[in-house]
Structure 1
Amino acid sequence: MQNIVILAGTIRQAPETRTTRTGTDVTRFKLVTARPRYSEGRIVRDENGYRVEDAEWHRVVAFNGLGRTIRQYCESGMKVLVRGRIHYTKWQDADGNDRYGCEIVAETVDFLSRTPQTDSDDEDEGRFIDEDDISS
């Protein structure tokens, strides 16, 4: 059996990189994914007709070259596709209590949007065009 996870979401924390004592670069960021809320088999909508979504937060970790690329090119608000595996951790806190966690170890990260352009004269330059943005 394989431990495979694929997540498409939005980075909601700027990636941070630290180097271990052995020289391994470890980059971490938080990714949020959303899915529509269902009730009785139907999508729940708010009073304005917009669908209600539930958000899930994921801790993502990447090592060495992939981590350096993420740190260099990714920032909060970017959309990415992460392929990797689920990793469960266990540690003891300062009081000696067992703590548990879950993180996604990234093997590949595909950029689904570009870094926001702040000093651009053309507003649409570098903008990711979503299917919903295309009018028929």
Structure 2
Amino acid sequence: MINRVILIGRLTRKPELRYTSSGLATTQFTLAVDRPTSGDKKEADFIPVVTWRKTAEACANYLDKGLLAAVEGRIQVRSYDNNEGKRVYVTEVVADNVRFLERKAGEGRSSQGNDPFRNEGKPTDIGDEDLPF
């Protein structure tokens, strides 16, 4: 049996970082994932995602509302009894791996000033002494 899911979508809100009573970091966020349709109308599914430990801390620090992210994990269904005594079922993705496909606004690499390829498609002047052959 296999329970594996890979999603690419945009966050609907900033991840909420919390710690369990035993000190484990966890975040929860929702990923908006486009659904194929027959017409020009776009539809999306809003999928709850849970992360743990270092992944949770990284998500809290580097992800924000609207950013594109890839999530790899498993689908989990859990249940609990609410205050009215009714059984509530929750389906969510427990992420093993999260890839940050975009950066927060204003966040860049510290080495960008030395990047010879930052000209965005314009010719780059590289001398013969810079070539390794």
Check whether TM > 0.5.
yes
* Equivalences for residues 1-136 of structure 1 within 5 A: 1-38=1-38, 44=39, 51-117=40-106
| Equivalent AA in structure 2 for residue 17 of structure 1 | L
Give secondary structure in 1 for the equivalent of 2:56: helix
1:35 deviates by 2.0
CA distance in 2, matches of 1:35, 1:64: 30
List 4+ stretches of structure 1 deviating above 2 A: none
Q: Secondary structure at the match of 1:107?
A: strand
Larger radius of gyration: 2
Unaligned runs of at least 5 residues, structure 1 = 39-43, 45-50, 119-136
C-alpha contact 1:36 1:52 (8 A) present in aligned 2: no
The gaps in structure 2 that reach 5 residues or longer are: 108-133
Tell me by how many angstroms 1:110 deviates.
Answer: 0.8
Q: TM-score, normalised by structure 1?
A: 0.75
